[in-house]
A and B are shown apart, each in its own frame.
Chain A
Amino acid sequence: MRKPFDLFAGFFFFLVGVAFIVESNKISDSAYGSVVGPDLFPKGLGFVLVILSIRLLYETMRTSMSTQPKSLDQIEESKSGETSHPSDDHPSYDYKRFLLLLGTMALYILTLEKIGYPLSTFLFLLLSIQIMRRGNLLKTTIISALFSLGVYYVYVYVLKGTLPGWPSFS
């Protein structure tokens, strides 16, 4: 039952297509005397996307239960469990952990340039490993420290790359 998502996706892509068509009109329609300008390609694609999203909406409305022939991809997919809509309260989906991890990543990105690579990476790994599985703090700390310092040392000192360093507190 992927219906609600496909409906949403259909509308979303429809709007994206329309947006590209509208925005393309603001771009110059010729370049150096050529009859084709930089607006042609995105505008054309915008139309294609609009048509495709209408077809997706149509298909989604029409087919709800009909079974389709099994393809290679399906064999592959069946091993990863059947897909369903995100709002389903499926017991095997762990959204709390996912959101926590996502938040940790956002925090990592926000702090990366403020407190530097080694420190922010260490904190990120420490938190995210603990989110994945609580416990064994010592091992987690050692792994996080080894990874963040190791990458920083190799990249900055051996390969002479640039990464935000230690915080300067000034």
Chain B
Amino acid sequence: MDNQAQMLIRIQQLQFVAVELNLFLDTHPDDQQVLALYNQVHQELVQCVRTYEEACGPLLNYGYSPAGKAPRWLWAETPWPWEIKY
């Protein structure tokens, strides 16, 4: 498994944890422990996404991800989800 796939898996894991905590907070909006954990996961997720996009290109298009420092548009060159070899 290459480094790009490892970064994508880590992003998926953190996104899933964020979804789970999101659902928990929907019914426990005052749980300070989970709120803190959610913010922590969010920070780590943002950092992982930023690291991935700087190295491999945008994860999202239509303005939701920066084009990056590469001198060319990488969106069409990054792998599609079904092309990623985990």
Partners in one complex: no
B residues engaging A (CB < 8 A)? none
